[in-house]
């Protein structure tokens, strides 16, 4: 009981300070659904920091999937997406967004678990991202997984940047959004374990803005196509004295 109360006090302080408090070391049990670029890059980073990784793959016996597990090391394993999600406390949805409506509801009852959504989509119009349509992907995930603690995270940078941090030329900030403060603190810790900074930007409704950031990120590259131009987000928190919101 005392442990729970102490944990909640730490999380409340973390929320007040915008997530800048170092949380106690805690090994997470994470189901990484999808063994593509996002799943394998984050899975390896987290496993190296002591988290327990179970991949969920459509083809757990495929050679390329076995190779991802081997490269991840640190006791990582692989099974089906449903079994991986059932076994873990946190779930990363590292799948293509057009497949999400089929893949995600089949993961089973994830009520009470933390579900991280790094997915993006864009509809090009004249060679530039068109307007986002309807509710954010993260809000759709929430409707497919009632009771899950959905957090939008890890969608606003290229995975190659954390595979090779020198490419980014400095820190990368991951904006995160969700309705559960403890869930966001634990996702934020995973961000720092992957070599990233994080900024809690608000409730799950803010996922719309974070998905919009990816349109800006991608749109910049599309607008400057062929010129080798890109950027990474580095958000600098400042005191709210110039334009205070009351
Ligand atoms: N790549 C990036 O730098 C990056 C950065 C930020 C966000 N994202 C977003 O993160 C998500 C994953 O991106 P990614 O680059 O990791 O994609 P990816 O390399 O194509 O991998 C996606 C994985 O999803 C699994 N999957 C499940 N159902 C699938 C289906 N019907 N068709 C294809 N794959 C299926 C596959 O793993 P199994 O074969 O093991 O089932 C596949 O390897 C996307 O929504 C993307 O927008 C990507």
Q: Looking at residue 178, which CATH number applies to its domain? A: 3.40.50.720
What band does 243 get if pLDDT is binned at 50, 70 and 90? confident
Q: What is the pTM of this model?
A: 0.92
pLDDT tens sequence across 17-68 = 544 444 557 899 999 999 999 999 999 999 999 999 999 999 999 999 999 9
| CA 38 to centroid of ligand 1, rounded, Å | 7
Is residue 99 within 6 Å of ligand 1 at its C-beta? Answer: yes
| CA 185 to centroid of ligand 1, rounded, Å | 25
Is residue 206 within 6 Å of ligand 1 at its C-beta? Answer: no
Which pLDDT belongs to residue 191?
A: 98
Which pLDDT belongs to residue 186?
A: 98
**In this structure, is residue 109 part of a structural domain?**
yes
Averaged pLDDT for residues 139-158:
98
Which pLDDT belongs to residue 26?
A: 86
What band does 185 get if pLDDT is binned at 50, 70 and 90? very high
Q: Is-contact 47 72, C-beta < 8 A?
A: yes
Smallest CA-to-CA distance from 21 within 8, 38, 36, 4 is with 8
Place of tokens 């934020």: 188
Is residue 10 within 6 Å of ligand 1 at its C-beta? Answer: no
Which pLDDT belongs to residue 242?
A: 85
**In this structure, is residue 62 part of a structural domain?**
yes
Whole-angstrom Cα distance, residue 93 to residue 118? 7
Which pLDDT belongs to residue 7?
A: 47
* Mutation to probe ligand 1, out of 83, 95, 213 (largest number of atoms < 8 A from CB): 95
**In this structure, is residue 7 part of a structural domain?**
no
| CA 35 to centroid of ligand 1, rounded, Å | 7
CA count, 13 A, side-chain hemisphere, 69: 19
Mean pLDDT lowest among 22-31, 138-147, 208-217: 22-31
pLDDT tens sequence across 88-135 = 999 999 999 999 999 999 999 999 999 999 999 989 999 999 988 899
| CA 2 to centroid of ligand 1, rounded, Å | 41
* Mutation to probe ligand 1, out of 31, 32, 36 (largest number of atoms < 8 A from CB): 36
Which pLDDT belongs to residue 85?
A: 98
Which pLDDT belongs to residue 3?
A: 40
**In this structure, is residue 16 part of a structural domain?**
no
**In this structure, is residue 234 part of a structural domain?**
no
**In this structure, is residue 5 part of a structural domain?**
no
Is residue 219 within 6 Å of ligand 1 at its C-beta? Answer: no
First-to-last CA distance in the chain?
Answer: 35
**In this structure, is residue 240 part of a structural domain?**
no
Place of tokens 């603690």: 149
Is residue 118 within 6 Å of ligand 1 at its C-beta? Answer: yes
**In this structure, is residue 200 part of a structural domain?**
yes
Which pLDDT belongs to residue 125?
A: 96
| CA 181 to centroid of ligand 1, rounded, Å | 27
Split into its structural domains, the chain has a count of 1
Atom number of ligand 1 nearest to Cα 60: 40
User: In Å, how far are 8, 41, 129, 234 from 21, measured between CA atoms?
Assistant: 13, 25, 36, 19
Taking 70 as the threshold, does the pLDDT of residue 13 lie above it?
no
Whole-angstrom Cα distance, residue 245 to residue 166? 37
Spell out the residues 6+ positions from residue 213 whose beta carbon is closer than 8 angstroms to its own.
156, 175, 233
What band does 153 get if pLDDT is binned at 50, 70 and 90? very high
Averaged pLDDT for residues 179-201:
98
DSSP-assigned beta bridge partners for residue 149: 114
Provide the token pair at 122.
Answer: 């864009």
15 vs 193, residue with greater confidence? 193
| CA 212 to centroid of ligand 1, rounded, Å | 19
Domain that includes residue 181, residue range: 21-226
């Amino acid at each position: 009981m005392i442990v729970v109360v102490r944990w909640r006090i730490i999380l409340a302080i973390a929320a007040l300070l915008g997530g800048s408090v170092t949380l106690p070391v805690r090994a997470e049990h994470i189901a990484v659904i999808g063994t593509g670029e996002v799943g394998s890059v984050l899975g390896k980073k987290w496993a190296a920091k002591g988290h327990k990784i179970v991949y969920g793959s459509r083809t757990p016996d495929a050679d390329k999937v076995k190779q991802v597990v081997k490269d991840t090391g640190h006791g990582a394993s692989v099974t089906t997406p449903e079994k991986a999600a059932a076994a873990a406390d946190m779930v990363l949805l590292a799948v293509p967004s057009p497949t999400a409506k089929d893949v995600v509801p089949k993961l089973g009852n994830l009520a009470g678990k933390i579900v991280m959504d790094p997915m993006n989509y864009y509809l090009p119009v004249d060679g530039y991202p068109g307007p986002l349509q309807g509710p954010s992907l993260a809000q759709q995930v929430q409707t497919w997984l009632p009771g899950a603690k959905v957090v939008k995270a890890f969608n606003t940078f290229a995975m190659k940047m954390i595979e090779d941090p020198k490419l980014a030329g400095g820190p990368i900030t991951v904006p995160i959004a969700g309705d559960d403060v403890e869930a966001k603190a634990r996702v934020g810790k995973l961000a720092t374990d992957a070599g990233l900074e994080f900024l809690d930007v608000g409730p799950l409704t803010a996922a719309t803005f974070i998905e919009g950031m990816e349109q800006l990120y991608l749109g910049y590259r599309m607008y400057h196509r062929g010129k080798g131009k890109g950027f990474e987000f580095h958000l600098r928190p400042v005191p709210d004295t110039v334009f205070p919101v009351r």
